[in-house]
Homo-oligomer: A and B are copies of this chain.
Amino acid sequence: MSNEDGGSLRGPLAHRVPDLAALELLLAVARLGSLGRAARETGITQPAASGRIRSMERMLGVGLVERSPRGSRLTDAGVLVTDWARRIVEAAEAFDAGAQALRGQRDSRLRVAASMTIAEYLLPGWLVALRARRPGTAVTLLAGNSAAVAERLRAGEADLGFVEGLAAPAGLDGAVVGGDRLVVVTAPAHPWARRRAPIAAAELAATPLILRERGSGTRQVLDAALAAYGGLAEPLLELASTTAAKAAAVGGAGPSVLSELAIGEELASRRLVEIPFEDLDLHRSLRAVWPTGHRPTGPARDLLSLTQGP
């Protein structure tokens, strides 16, 4: 009776989750219906594919593929596993698209400057879509705050920018490509999570919160909105990154106010719960921006068209 129970923290994730190559192979098998064909597509030999699938099945303790002399089909469990695997692969594709842009090729055809929030949460998805639609478009990404983005564009060092905020920076034209909203969140165990009535603005203002540091975009919006209600109370914690603030809130340190872009996953899995509030507008626009008069063309226009919802 060692610690071989169905528990959780018995080792690094990498020992319990197959590597990307194996997951991609599984997706190929699901799509092509044959280990051999999947192997060929993946650029390995058939025995290698056979072995990889087998070791994946051993690792998970579940049969994934039903082999037959005329092909392979997924088992019921295999269908589920394959769908879960697809999530990992999609996240990896976003990572890859982002990382490639970060690398900053010399011969880049499209130079994008974006605020941190957008670069973190939205841009990778857009880059994946752009890659699907216009393969071979080399993209460079520069991340910085709104002022830095504006500066790059004015200096001609970027072709297209993305910023969040209430208005487009001076000297730049723009188009709204989406919205963001700050939400009040707590861990599910916090008393606020059991309230039925919305939090009043004044109560929110009077409560010590977990916040980003003064100067961050999130903090500025909140400061402005609560100014009419006496301004923010002394923060409970003041942290340098959205991630740190999120982690503190998840850990139950107290209520926080964060961008809904940053906490989708946490809300879905109920590591955080959203607390309704009233009398406040914590929306902000996400804008694509470009130098006044220089309407985007070429690759920049391609990317822009991806971001504009129907």
Contact = CB atoms under 8 A, between A and B. Distances in A.
A119 B80 contact: yes
A117 to B, nearest CB: 10
Query: In the assembly, how many copies of this chain are there?
Result: 2
A291 interface: no
B77 A84 contact: no
B17 A96 contact: yes
Nearest to A265: B90
Contacts of A60: 99, 102-103
Given A12-B21, A79-B241, A107 B5 contact: yes
A206 interface: no
Contacts of A20: 12-14, 17, 19
A2 interface: no
A106 B199 CA distance: 46
Interface stretch (A129-137, A155-163, A282-290): A129-137
Interface stretch (A217-225, A227-235, A269-277): A269-277
Interface string A92-119: 1111101110110101100000001001
Interface residues of A, number: 80
A215 interface: no
B94 A87 contact: yes
A17 B243 contact: no
A268 B96 contact: no
Nearest to A132: B271
B16 A21 contact: no
Nearest to A43: B12
A81 B93 contact: no
